[in-house]
Each structure stands twice: as structure tokens, then as C-alpha cells.
Amino acid sequence: MLRVGISIGTSFTIGGPGGQRSGPAQVIAQARAAAAAGLDTLSLGDHHATGPAGYVQNVPMLGRLLAEWTERPAGCLFLVPLWNPVLLAEQVGTLAAMAPGPFIVQAAVGGGAGQFRAMGAELSERAARSEEGIRVAQALLRGEEVDSQLYGVAGARVAPLPPEGTEWWVGGGVARAVDRAARLGDCWYGNADLTPSSARQLIELYREACARHDREPVRLPIRKDVFVAEDRAVAERVGDALVGAGYRGFERAAVAYGDPDTVAEQLAVYGEIGYTDIVTRTMGPLPADVGPDAAARSVALTGEVRARLAAS
């Protein structure tokens, strides 16, 4: 069965209704909708130094959302080169000990020279820092004592440890990153910008890398940006406008929007390719005329998408 989860978008507009509290409130509303809809996984993204735009930070927010969630898997994306791996492991250990179910660590190298400068990291070192950061954090979360010359870590240990261990989903869209996922991760995490064609090419590249490293992935997840509405025409109007405005630089084939039936049809191809999990994120910003609760309603309707995919 093709599982459907959610990665809740945490960007928000400063100065809108609710002011500084509007971002967290929107995230909580979507998490409640995801829990009620029976979605299979819950996760949050990672970004830093976004001001003056708003971005709700993942670790404290997920701690709050675990009160809304269930025993199904939950987790966070971490831009590993921007984190001290001891701090990363401590955050994961605490969150996993709070979570009633399995914990997922989604690891990525990140980008953006401004973001790296703000966090005191060099963009040119991101691949090396990512590999070493994953290695150190994984060892710490196994309860080991760890040193790292690259990060200046000596004799580090952390507690609490994840009661059920962790799943590491390692992202990336180039051959070197896909190979890193096969070596260091429990699975590779496909990017949201992949179309069916590029998703097929990269999953084959990943399978080849797994064969080289004698690894068997625990699952094959891919992220997809979606917008679901009861009225197909409304959803297509909104989606067409976002894509026409250059939505995140994505091709139309990389996103899915419409009513539950048409979104299920657009996403089903990824299951046919071999992906086991689709992690959805609501497209945005959504226009005011679709209503203030349109994002949470889209998440609720994603539960209907999940049901259609399960029945197909």
C-alpha cells in the first residue's frame, strides 16, 4: 500500500492576522487535520535566518505537535551542515523519547550562501559536514561516545536515546548525494521538485547504489507539494496560478492539485514507479478568496487521497 504522510510547511507572513502567533497556529491546525485524516507520517522542515519572513522552527514546534499526533511515525528534517551534531542528536533523542511512535530523521545538505553565512558555516564544506554530521549523530543516538575533528567534538555522549531507534531518510538530487543515502541512510528521500520522469531516473540510480553497498532500504519516500479542494475547478485555478507565477521553480508535473480523485490519479504514478511513501506539503501561499482554513482543509482532504490510493 502506498503510504501518505505530511511535511507541514512552516513559512508564514509576518503582519498577517494573528501577527507573530499566526505561523504556529497554522501549523497546529494542519497537524490536527493530518491526525484526524489518518495520515501515515508527520514531519517538519528546516530553515534558518529567514527574517524578516517568518519560519517556525522545527524542534520546539514538533514538541508541541506530538500532543496532537498519534503512535504513527513523526520526525524532522535537519539541514545537517548547519547543526552541531551533538546538539542535533540531543534534540532527536529528546523528541523521540517524547513521541509515542517511531522517529524519523530526514537529513539534507541545505543550500543558500546567506543561510550558511548566518549560521557560521561554509557552503563549500556542506558535503563533508553532512557526511560527518550524520555519522556523529547516528553514533551518539546508538549510545556511543564520539569524537569528531571536523566538528571539534571530543568524548561526547547524549541521553535520552530514541526508545525505538530512528529511521534516517537522506535526501539529495545528484549522484553523489544518492550514493550518500545508500551508504549512510535507511533510505533515500526524493525531492519535491522531481517529476515522474526524473523520479524514475533517480530511484533507479538509488537502487544501483544500494546494490553496490549491499543495503536494503526500509522504504522509498518522495515529497510532493499538493493542493486539494472539494471543487476541482477551484483547486486548478489556485494551482495553475501558483505554477504560472513560478512556484518554487517547479515544473507542473512535479506538483499535484485538484479534487481528491484527480490528486490521487496524479500521485499514483509514483507508486507505480516504486515509491512506498508520498510525503505531502500544502502548496502556498494560498489566495485569500479560498478561505483562511484552506490549507488545513487541503490536509483533511489528503486523507481522502490516501484512501483512494490505498484502494487502487
By the 8 A CB rule, do 291 and 29 touch?
no
Residue 213 has pLDDT above 90, yes or no: yes
pLDDT of residue 107: 98
Between 16 and 155, residue with greater pLDDT:
155
Distances (CA, A) of 55 to 95, 107, 269, 290: 20, 18, 32, 22
What residues contact residue 233 under an 8 Å CB cut-off, 6+ apart?
none
Residue 155 has pLDDT above 80, yes or no: yes
- Report pLDDT digits (tens) over 33-57: 999 999 999 999 999 988 888 899 9
pLDDT of residue 50: 85
Region(s) of the chain under CATH 3.20.20.30: 73-218
- Report pLDDT digits (tens) over 222-260: 999 999 999 999 999 999 999 999 999 999 999 999 999
pLDDT of residue 294: 97
Between the CA atoms of 281, 286, 290 and 296, what dihedral angle is there, to the nearest 10 degrees? 30
Q: Where does the pLDDT of residue 312 fall: very low under 50, low under 70, confident under 90, or very high at 90 and above?
A: confident
Residue 202 has pLDDT above 70, yes or no: yes
Q: Where does the pLDDT of residue 19 fall: very low under 50, low under 70, confident under 90, or very high at 90 and above?
A: confident
Residue 125 has pLDDT above 70, yes or no: yes
Q: Is 3.20.20.30 the CATH classification of the domain at 73-218?
A: yes
- Report pLDDT digits (tens) over 102-123: 999 999 999 999 999 999 999 9
Between 14 and 295, residue with greater pLDDT:
295
How high does pLDDT run on average in the chain? 96
Helix (H, G, I), strand (E, B) or coil at 190: strand
Helix (H, G, I), strand (E, B) or coil at 11: strand
pLDDT of residue 16: 66
Neighbour order of strands in the sheet with 3-8: 187-189, 166-171, 103-108, 74-79, 42-44, 3-8, 277-282, 221-228, 256-258
Q: Which helix (H) or strand (E) holds 307?
A: helix 294-311
Percent of the chain, pLDDT > 90?
93
Residue 13 has pLDDT above 90, yes or no: no
Q: Which helix (H) or strand (E) holds 162?
A: none
Q: Where does the pLDDT of residue 30 fall: very low under 50, low under 70, confident under 90, or very high at 90 and above?
A: very high
- Report pLDDT digits (tens) over 296-307: 999 999 999 999
